[in-house]
Structure 1
Amino acid sequence: MSDDFVLQKISAFKRDKLGSIESNRVRRAGRIPAVVYGHGQEPAHISVEDTDLQNLIKNRERVFEIDLDGQVEETMLRDIQWDTFGNHILHVDLMRINASERVTVEVQVRLRGTSPGVTSGGVLEQPLHSLELDCLAHNIPDNISIRINTLEIGDSIHISDVEVPRGAKLHHPEDQVVVHVIAPKGEEEVVATEEETPEVTAE
């Protein structure tokens, strides 16, 4: 990230009244209820323009500034609550931060390529679909990409094999499996049966 990195800024509006009825009124006005917390300060109940928030999400901006009555704070999008169909945002949680400080976040794993082991009949298993990453707030990646195009049956990718942004680190044991390819269950059962069958010697 370059030194001239500039955060996006959106306007925020204080919410004096709380509750579901008031939240629905805010949404009808084209805004999204939100709460800002962290840095040892009291949580602040605010709302932000729906279009502003949608643009941030579309551009994958997780760290941005909010302007509340002239007071500007750096925040990070921590949680989004969607409606049942995943079409409309109902509420968001924002955490106060300093964009140059380190944060710990959950980042989704994105598998790339095709495993030759799967092509030949193996089964792909992914125990970890997201990873806990420690990094600078303005360097949070959209996802962690893992290539699986060399995985044969019996091969695994562990935490120690995962590449992360420079200066970042993962909060997982290095020997923990992220993704692996196993033999089909039918083959596993045949192997197990063969191993369990006692050897019979003719008298």
Structure 2
Amino acid sequence: MSDDFVLPRISAFKRDKLGSIESRRIRRAGRVPAVVYGHEQEPAHVCVEDHDLQNLIKNRERVFEIDVDGQVEETMLRELQWDTFGTQVLHVDLIRINASERVTVEVPVRLRGTSPGVVSGGILEQPLHTLELDCLAHNIPDDLPVRINALEIGDAIHVSDVEVPRGSKIHNEGDQVVVHVIAAQPEEAEAEVSDAAAESGEAAESAAE
């Protein structure tokens, strides 16, 4: 990791008591219960200021430092638990890391552009919405952009076609389809199916008579 690379840092506070009642008390005080684990160390039960956590989420920061009574650890956001309405974070899981080490994370695929195949009547299908990326912890992208501007009917973009940040690699099989455009079912074929169904129904009624 370069000397000029600086991770964002937030303060964390040790939790001496556990349980749902204590967690509610912590939330009423404007903080969020959290657990820090990993690197073959005992899990640490802490809490962080809600506004600090919300700022990290808003800025899409996934790797940051936490300062617990002067002891600073590099961590990565592993899981957020939200309330029913998706407005309040109830709990957060953090994993200890070294920001210069490699991690494997699920990164969303973001389609960019308009497919000419869709414009001409084709149907866009996206079998893979996330990809498993191996990269440096401090270099996790927000998403993996996939441009579909050249996709005609019958064309596909495979995992091996997706561009990734320098030094990163995708664990998914290269021949897996990320997105493709298929031909829509011809109206004539649909009409034939409908006619055949109608004829079958008429024949059944005649037989019943």
- Same fold at TM > 0.5: yes
SS of the equivalent of 1:185 reads coil
Partner amino acid for 2:127? P
SS of the equivalent of 1:27 reads helix
Q: Map 1:14-33 to 2 at 5 A.
A: 14-33=14-33
Count of aligned pairs between the two proteins: 191
CA 1:186 to 1:39, structure 2 compared with 1: closer, same or farther past 3 Å?
same
Higher radius of gyration, 1 or 2: 2
Partner amino acid for 2:67? D
* Gapped regions of structure 1 (runs ≥ 5): 194-203
Q: Map 1:52-131 to 2 at 5 A.
A: 52-131=52-131
Show the counterpart of 2:159: 159
CA distance in 1 between partners of 2:167 and 2:135 (Å):
7
* Gapped regions of structure 2 (runs ≥ 5): 194-209
- Structure with more of its chain in helix, by fraction: 2
Show the counterpart of 1:35: 35
CA distance in 1 between partners of 2:84 and 2:151 (Å):
37
CA distance in 2 between partners of 1:10 and 1:119 (Å):
48
CA 1:109 to 1:7, structure 2 compared with 1: closer, same or farther past 3 Å?
same
Partner amino acid for 2:169? K
Shift of 1:130: 0.7
Shift of 1:127: 0.7
Shift of 1:95: 0.5
TM-score (normalizing by structure 1)? 0.90
CA distance in 1 between partners of 2:181 and 2:10 (Å):
45
Show the counterpart of 1:4: 4
Shift of 1:2: 5.5
Partner amino acid for 1:65? E
Show the counterpart of 1:201: none
Once the two structures are superposed, what CA deviation does each residue of 1:42-65 show, in whole Å capped at 9, x if it has no partner? 111110000001111111111100
CA distance in 1 between partners of 2:161 and 2:145 (Å):
11
SS of the equivalent of 2:138 reads helix
Once the two structures are superposed, what CA deviation does each residue of 1:136-156 show, in whole Å capped at 9, x if it has no partner? 000000110000111111110
CA 1:122 to 1:2, structure 2 compared with 1: closer, same or farther past 3 Å?
farther
Partner amino acid for 1:102? R
RMSD (CA atoms): 1.6
TM-score (normalizing by structure 2)? 0.87
Shift of 1:3: 4.2
Shift of 1:187: 6.4
Show the counterpart of 1:169: 169
Once the two structures are superposed, what CA deviation does each residue of 1:3-47 show, in whole Å capped at 9, x if it has no partner? 411011100011111122211111110001111111001111110
Percent sequence identity over matched residues? 80
Partner amino acid for 1:7? L
The range that moved more, 178-187 or 115-124, is 178-187
Partner amino acid for 1:60? R
Partner amino acid for 1:9? R
Once the two structures are superposed, what CA deviation does each residue of 1:162-191 show, in whole Å capped at 9, x if it has no partner? 00000000011110000111111346957x
